[in-house]
Amino acid sequence: MHRYFLELAYKGTAYSGFQVQENANTIQSETERALEIFFKQKISLTGSSRTDAGVHALQNFFHFDTELNITNEQLYNINAILPGDIVAKAIYPVKNDAHVRFSAMAREYHYYIYTTKNPFLADRAWFYPFTVDIDILNEAAAILMQYKDFTSFSKRNTQVNTFECSITNSQWKLENDCYVYEVRSNRFLRGMVRGLVGTMLKAGRKIITIDQFKNIIEAKDCTKADFTTPAHGLFLAAVDYREDIFIKTNTIIHP
């Protein structure tokens, strides 16, 4: 039995999220359908990160087990079956104990906002027609790296053992008419990035002060944060793994 990591990118606009759900169209259900059509057998996928409805990914992963040997031609055909808003980017043979979720060392998310009307960004960034101070946004972003407990930025009824995360990068940039928030951590809580963005934007608009922003973090109370940030501006940008889980072989595939 071989285990493979399947790397995907997708535009999440038309989907009810990444993970399979009953009576809903998801990235996982579409990918499993494509694999079943091509291989003529059911292949069950395990996902790396559960992106919500409308969230996009520049990189996300499934793993699956099969007796089949995957070839370059097979990846090409899988992409021909997948809908146009999902692309299989690569397949990696991995060790049998490698797991797309639990073997991940870090994840990185990007959130995009734009302040001037632009129809070409409408489904990939949040139209936020307000003046924001990027220096204040970066001051707030840097403060996050001083904390570990992000209870205030986890949505209610989240079943986790800990609310601690180690954020190693947190910054705002200007990129192609967008303000882009980039954040990297060993793990993320449900709704965390959108909560961080919404609350930092309040600071950037001077609705709250930096001291009040700190108070929200330290309150460990999710009712203090702003989770109104829409899904369509959020991208899962990267998932990182140790090199030693991958099997070095010529069958590593890139389209």
Name the residues annotated as catalytic: 52
Question: Cα(111)–Cα(108) distance, rounded to whole angstroms?
Answer: 10
Tokens representing residue 16 in the block: 């009810």
Question: Cα(149)–Cα(163) distance, rounded to whole angstroms?
Answer: 6
Q: Which residue has the tokens 């936020």?
A: 128
Instruction: Please give the C-alpha separations between residue 151 and each of 107, 146, 159, in angstroms, as whole numbers.
Output: 19, 14, 12
Question: Cα(133)–Cα(46) distance, rounded to whole angstroms?
Answer: 41
Q: Which residue has the tokens 């990160």?
A: 49
Question: Cα(52)–Cα(26) distance, rounded to whole angstroms?
Answer: 10
Element (H, E) at 6: strand 2-10
Residues 6+ apart with CB under 8 A from 119: none
Whether 211 contacts 194, CB under 8 Å: no
Whether 48 contacts 28, CB under 8 Å: no
